[in-house]
Amino acid sequence: MGGVSWCHSEQISTPDTASANLNPTKGKTTTVDGQEVVPVSISGRGETVTWYAAATGKPYYLGQDSAREDMPDITLSDFGKSVDAQKPAGPVQEAPQE
């Protein structure tokens, strides 16, 4: 999942403030990859990020399109399907406490 790549310790301790003062705008229902979606966008500094939520059924977050260099485009699918997760085979190391 692309969203996991954002979870870096420096982003938790120093959050992204690039969009802090921008108001999201809800767009008209449209279709992305055959799915009806509701787009929500923010724009600023010459960059736009649009997130998509399913317009029918459960309002799943289906992805994003981004003009930002540090924010990838993401497509999510297969909700409710098994991911065949397995218990880690080796020792699990906890994150350090500060």
Task: Detail the DSSP E strand segments found in 45-96.
Answer: 47-54, 61-66, 74-75
- Report the C-alpha gap between 26 and 10 in whole angstroms: 30
pLDDT string in tens for the chain (98-residue length): 334 444 555 555 555 555 566 788 999 999 988 889 999 998 887 888 899 999 999 889 999 998 888 888 988 888 888 888 888 889 888 888 87
Amino acid 76: pLDDT:
86
Amino acid 92: pLDDT:
84
Let me know if residue 48 belongs to a domain. Answer: yes
Let me know if residue 96 belongs to a domain. Answer: no
Amino acid 6: pLDDT:
45
Looking at the structure of the chain, the number of domains it has is 1
In this prediction the pTM is 0.62
- The domain in which residue 68 lies consists of 23-77
